Structure 1
């Protein structure tokens, strides 16, 4: 009985505490250094253009939530660059899978 409670606690901890972004992009000197997840081509092109104009280091993550998507930037990304990336972010490209279902 104790092992069932232990397994349930581990599963709950994993679901709550583990960082699971839909997309993670890292930059180094204005170039994309690492990409993990689905990165739409048009959004990638726009982000590369922004990074070439204003080179920066840092990263951003895209999280899927019930209300939509959420962009999270590291502190190294300047605020003006953050806003430019938010402006070109394709909200339809990261549509919630459950929103397409009908009752």
Structure 2
């Protein structure tokens, strides 16, 4: 019985503590250096344009929530750049269903 409670506690801790973004993008000096997840081509083009105009370092993460997508930025990304990225973000075009089959 104790092992069942221990396994449940580990699973709950893993679900809460592990950072699981749908998309993670790293920037260095105005260039996209690392992408993990599905990045739509139009959004990538807009990000490159924004980063070339106002070079910055930092990281952007996109989380899938019940209410929609949530964007988070590292502290190095300026507020004006964050707003420009939020304005061009494709809320409808990002793939959020992973492993779900369509009927």
In structure 2, the residue matched to 1:66 is 66
In structure 1, the residue matched to 2:35 is 35
Alignment coverage as a number of residue pairs:
97
Residue 77 of structure 1 deviates from its aligned partner by 0.3
User: Where has structure 1 moved over 2 Å in runs of 4 or more?
Assistant: 94-97
| 1:9 pairs with 2:9 | yes
TM-score (ref. length: structure 1): 0.90
TM-score (ref. length: structure 2): 0.90
CA RMSD of aligned residues (A): 1.1
Unaligned runs of 5+ in 1: 98-103
Residue 95 of structure 1 deviates from its aligned partner by 6.0
By percentage of residues, which structure has more helix?
1
**Local SS of the residue matching 1:81:** helix
Q: Distance in 1 between matches of 2:29 and 2:96?
A: 32
Q: Distance in 2 between matches of 1:36 and 1:88?
A: 19
Unaligned runs of 5+ in 2: 98-103
